[in-house]
């Protein structure tokens, strides 16, 4: 096997690659901060604030830590596994060329365990693979027992010295068309899975490898793992995966919401990947002069990719082409469509998600789908209340945005997972009775449970009433409608701007001890003619909302297109509102597929909209129309004395934007939202019973 010469890994070069992503996000944060009020020093939280808020702010979450209780609950009670100490040093061989699909050169770094004298440890060892489109940097060396940084310092991924020091070989791969690999990049292009299958086989046959392979990494690296595990087939070397903050449905989870373009994230991501694809090969030649001979060819491939993917995709979507709808392009890239194959291939998965993550919607759906497939049930169905579960498929879902969810220190959890499935240790993870670990945003505690939707929950519907009241039961007869107007923009303050910037505003601000811009403003600052709120009276007892949410808005519009955004909030006694979750819907894409929707206890809680061009139909001006809005799931206990609020608006700046061709059909729109018993508008949530 021919390889480049061995050389030390430069930790500085790895940090530099990671910093490039954070720097790009910093630019976004800076631009937003320039147009928003100045940041303030973080004060103490006010009485009655939800636990997720470490300050009177809608944007500040909790530190990215995994508590010992969750580590314990990931295994069966009475399990006695403990992490072994670091016994090896590390060294690397960098920029190894591996033949990908069609002979395209895919480059990888191999980081392997070493003995005290620096010689390779004999092994044999399992191999861990991470596949990054952000540039792998360069590998290096460390002495036995030296301290290692957490494995997931940024969404770029990177080498995991912690695991190498405990008896694993680590391989970091540049995805086709990125980093130092050849070819042209496209978002989750299926050919990347063909490349990865060949790299997995290469990993299994490395010197000192034992033939077993696992994968790890967050974000794109997590989605890659799911797609690979579904494509690779049974009896492969791939034996376990650990995907963090990974999508279920790329179209619904991130690229679009309710059929509306996620402009904030999409434009940031296209710019970020385009810049990294051009810059990384040049940067890497500084520490690897051997790449200079291939640099021109790599750059030519990557530049061609900017035209074939970045520019073409932008033109297709903004022009209302096929990629603006949920068709074949997106279906080929959806982890949801491979979950059953992952189970059939016998590959266990430990999932990590965030309740303010980009993929907030899809992470519990991935868990439910894998558990259903293991129980021989339909992947897209809700789990049954008493459904048996397996520790082979687990989800840890906490109060994190994308950046801090990607940066969780999961070294010990990953070690236990890979010790279980790659080394055959009896850790108890396969036998845990509670493989679902969900954080309660209200109490600050973890719920260790089994099924999604959550076992024991029952649906409750609150109707919109005159005077902005939200209450159970039927609204009055002959109540006048409430009117809002369509607006091309609104206040940028609020949770969504940070969530869809991946935490790129709140995470840096919290790191230096200040509130992000606008964070100390409650949501009443967003109310204008484009929005209206309905709020419950103060609760007489705590209310735990857990799982999918649906808003039914019955309205008559003056225009043939509508744009509706629904945000669910908790309001504390001092009047501060904390946004918890949201959903949206473009009126022409309001069709619902009853076969794929979730109706629980007779109540629609998860409307599945096809979002296809064939399902689109215009809104009839002046006619009452029903819009069933899917709101992303949450888990929050609203305290006694607090209130539940829903805000319905016609804009979510800068998160969501209509396509240019839709603007003339939206302009001037006035929506009369029904508050009448004959056509009730409502909010439906799943409620867990109070703890005994």
Query: Above pLDDT 70, what percent of the chain?
Result: 84
Out of 121-135, 356-370, 462-476, 507-521, least confident range = 507-521
- Contacting residues for 406 by C-beta, under 8 A, at least 6 apart: 152, 154, 155, 218, 219, 244, 245
Q: CATH number of the domain that 344 lies in? A: 3.40.50.1820
Say what the pLDDT of residue 395 is: 98
Sign of the torsion formed by the C-alpha atoms of 398, 549, 581 and 333: positive
pLDDT of 512 > 80? The answer is: no
Using pLDDT thresholds of 50, 70 and 90, give the confidence band for residue 526. low
More confident residue, 164 or 495: 164
Mean pLDDT of 547-572: 96
pLDDT digits (tens, 9 = 90+) for 38-85: 433 334 444 455 555 433 333 344 566 788 999 999 999 999 999 999
What is the three-class DSSP state of 584? strand
Whether 389 is in a domain gets the answer yes
487 to each of 105, 194, 562, 651, 657, how far by Cα in Å? 49, 45, 11, 6, 11
- 442 in the same domain as 465: no
Q: In this predicted structure, what is the pLDDT of residue 78? A: 92
Is pLDDT at 6 greater than 90 in this prediction? no
In a domain, 89, yes or no: yes
- pLDDT confidence of residue 26: 43
Residues 444 and 462 occupy one common structural domain? no
Three-class SS of residue 362? helix
Residue 27 belongs to some domain of the structure = no
Give the pLDDT confidence of 195-236 residue by residue, as tens digits. 999 999 999 999 999 999 999 999 999 999 999 999 999 999
Domain co-membership, 440 together with 581: no
Domain count, the chain: 2
The whole-number pLDDT of residue 63 equals 60
Return the pLDDT at 524: 46
- 111: tokens are 């980081």
Domain shared by 374 and 400, yes or no: yes
Range of the domain at 109: 65-313+325-449
How far is residue 341 from each of residues 103, 229, 250, 312, 347, measured CA to CA in Å?
27, 8, 18, 31, 9
Count other C-beta atoms under 10 Å from residue 117's C-beta.
7
The reply to whether 502 and 645 lie within a common domain is yes
pLDDT higher at 293 or 541: 541
Enter the tokens of residue 22. Answer: 């954070």
Q: Are residues 420 and 475 in the same domain?
A: no
When pLDDT is averaged across residues 288-315 and rounded to a whole number, the result is 76
Q: Which of 392, 424, 449 is the last residue of a domain?
A: 449
What's the pLDDT band for 155 if we cut at 50, 70, 90?
A: very low
pLDDT at residue 140, as a whole number: 57
Q: Are residues 155 and 192 in the same domain?
A: yes
Q: Decide if pLDDT at 107 tops 90.
A: yes
- Residue whose tokens read 């080929």: 332
| Domain-ending residue, one of 449, 474, 494 | 449
Tell me 252's DSSP state: I
pLDDT for res 146: 54
- Which segment of 227-241, 474-488, 566-580 scores lowest on mean pLDDT? 566-580
**pTM, entire model:** 0.90
Tell me what pLDDT residue 498 has.
81
Question: 114 and 216 in one domain?
Answer: yes
At 284, is the pLDDT very low, low, confident or very high (cuts 50, 70, 90)?
Answer: confident
Q: How many Å apart are CA 68 and CA 85, to the nearest integer?
A: 18
Longest Cα–Cα distance of the chain, Å, equals: 85
Q: How far apart, in whole angstroms, are the C-alpha atoms of residue 374 and residue 386?
A: 15
Per the prediction, the chain carries an average pLDDT of: 85
Spatial CA neighbour of 454 closest among 355, 547, 580, 366:
547
Answer for the pair 448, 641: CB distance below 8 angstroms, yes or no.
no
State whether 637 and 683 are in the same domain. Answer: yes
Q: Is residue 607 part of a domain?
A: yes
Band of pLDDT at residue 29, cut at 50, 70 and 90: very low
Is 3 part of a structural domain of the chain? no
Confidence bin at 421 (pLDDT 50/70/90): very high
Q: Are 658 and 320 in contact (CB under 8 A)?
A: no
Return the pLDDT at 299.
Answer: 74
CA gap 294, 281 in Å, rounded:
9
């Amino acid at each position: 096997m021919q390889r480049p010469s061995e050389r030390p890994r430069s930790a500085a070069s790895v940090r530099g690659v990671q910093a490039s992503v954070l720097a790009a996000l910093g630019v976004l944060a800076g631009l937003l901060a320039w147009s928003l009020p100045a940041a303030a020093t973080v004060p103490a939280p006010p009485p009655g604030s939800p636990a997720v808020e470490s300050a009177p702010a809608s944007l500040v979450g909790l530190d990215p830590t995994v508590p010992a209780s969750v580590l314990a609950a990931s295994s069966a009670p009475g399990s006695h596994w403990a992490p072994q100490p670091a016994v090896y040093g590390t060294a690397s061989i960098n920029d190894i060329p591996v033949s990908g699909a069609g002979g395209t050169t895919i480059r990888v770094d191999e980081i392997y365990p070493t003995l005290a004298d620096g010689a390779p440890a004999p092994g044999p060892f399992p191999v861990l693979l991470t596949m990054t489109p952000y540039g792998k940097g360069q590998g290096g060396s460390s002495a036995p027992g030296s301290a290692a940084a957490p494995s997931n310092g940024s969404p770029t991924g990177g080498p995991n010295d912690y695991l190498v020091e405990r008896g694993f070989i680590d391989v970091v791969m540049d995805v086709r068309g990125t980093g130092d690999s050849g070819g042209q990049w496209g978002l989750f292009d299926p050919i990347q899975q063909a490349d990865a299958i060949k790299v997995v086989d290469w990993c299994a046959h490395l010197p000192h490898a034992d033939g077993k392979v696992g994968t790890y990494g967050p974000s794109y690296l997590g989605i890659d793992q799911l797609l690979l595990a579904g494509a690779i087939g049974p009896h492969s070397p791939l034996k376990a995966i650990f995907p963090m903050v990974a999508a279920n449905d790329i179209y619904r989870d991130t690229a679009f919401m309710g059929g509306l373009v996620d402009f904030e994230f999409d434009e940031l991501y296209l710019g970020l990947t385009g810049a990294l694809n051009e810059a990384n090969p040049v940067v890497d030649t500084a520490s690897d002069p051997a790449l200079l001979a291939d640099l021109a060819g790599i750059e030519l491939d990557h530049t061609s990719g900017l035209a074939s993917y970045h520019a073409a995709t932008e033109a297709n979507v903004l022009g209302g082409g096929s990629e603006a709808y949920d068709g074949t392009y997106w279906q080929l890239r959806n982890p949801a469509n491979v979950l059953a194959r992952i189970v059939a291939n016998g590959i266990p998965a430990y999932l990590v998600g965030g309740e303010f993550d980009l993929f907030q919607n899809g992470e519990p759906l991935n868990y439910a789908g894998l558990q259903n497939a293991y129980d021989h049930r339909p992947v897209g169905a809700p789990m049954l209340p008493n459904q048996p579960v397996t520790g082979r498929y687990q989800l840890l879902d906490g109060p994190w945005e994308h950046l801090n969810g990607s940066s969780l220190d999961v070294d010990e959890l990953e070690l236990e997972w890979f010790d279980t499935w790659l080394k055959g240790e009896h850790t108890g993870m396969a036998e845990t009775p509670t493989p679902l670990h969900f954080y309660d945003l209200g109490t600050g505690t973890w719920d260790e449970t089994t099924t999604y939707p959550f076992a024991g929950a029952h649906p409750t519907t609150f109707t919109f009433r005159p005077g902005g009241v939200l209450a159970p039961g039927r609204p009055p007869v002959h109540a006048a409608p409430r009117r809002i107007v369509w607006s091309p923009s609104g206040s940028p303050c609020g949770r969504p701007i940070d969530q869809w910037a991946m935490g790129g505003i709140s995470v840096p601000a919290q790191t230096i001890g200040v509130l992000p811009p606008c964070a100390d403003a409650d949501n009443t600052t967003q109310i204008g003619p484009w929005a209206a709120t309905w709020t419950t009276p103060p609760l007489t007892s705590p209310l735990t909302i857990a799982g999918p949410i649906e808003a039914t808005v019955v309205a008559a519009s003056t225009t043939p297109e509508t744009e509706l955004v629904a945000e669910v909030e908790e309001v504390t006694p001092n009047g501060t509102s904390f946004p918890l979750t949201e959903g949206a819907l473009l009126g022409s894409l309001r069709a619902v597929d009853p076969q794929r929707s979730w109706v629980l206890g007779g109540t629609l809680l998860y409307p599945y909209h096809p979002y296809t061009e064939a399902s689109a139909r215009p809104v009839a001006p002046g006619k009452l129309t029903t819009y069933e809005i899917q709101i992303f799931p949450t888990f929050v206990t609203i305290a006694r004395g607090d209130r539940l609020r829903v805000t319905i608006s016609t804009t979510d700046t800068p998160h969501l934007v209509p396509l240019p061709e839709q603007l003339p059909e939206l302009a001037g729109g006035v929506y009369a939202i029904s508050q009448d018993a004959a056509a009730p508008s409502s909010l439906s949530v799943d409620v867990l019973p109070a703890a005994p």
